[in-house]
Amino acid sequence: MHRKEVKIINDAGLHARPAAEFCRTASQFNSEILIKKMGGDERHGNAKSVISVVTMRVEKGMNLLITAEGNDEMIAVETLAALVNSGFGE
């Protein structure tokens, strides 16, 4: 299992467009990938499901734990972390 905590930096948080991009990227990997919203409301969900990601209501400044388990877990987590750290190009 590989995991990494990232901070959401884009102004609108993980709204529909970046959530869809996040899920599209996650779906490229074979590993099971989960995300967990850190802090008081520690919701978690499937990183490959747009509905799951959007309903978590992740806003700017919140931390997100990305966890993957499988044969490509390290590259999956690192790729998703880099996407979040880029602010989704916004």
Domain residue spans of the chain = 2-89
Dist CA 38 CA 27 (whole Å): 22
15 counts as catalytic? yes
Q: What is the pLDDT confidence band of residue 49, given thresholds at 50, 70 and 90?
A: very high
C-alpha pair distances (Å), 78 with each of 18, 67, 70: 17, 10, 14
Can you list the positions of beta strands (E) in 1-90?
2-7, 32-37, 44-46, 63-69
Domain 2-89 in CATH 3.10.129.10? The answer is no
Q: Which of 15, 72, 74, 81 is catalytic?
A: 15
Q: What is the pLDDT of residue 43?
A: 83
Whether the Cβ atoms of residue 11 and residue 60 lie closer than 8 Å to each other: yes
In this prediction the pTM is 0.93
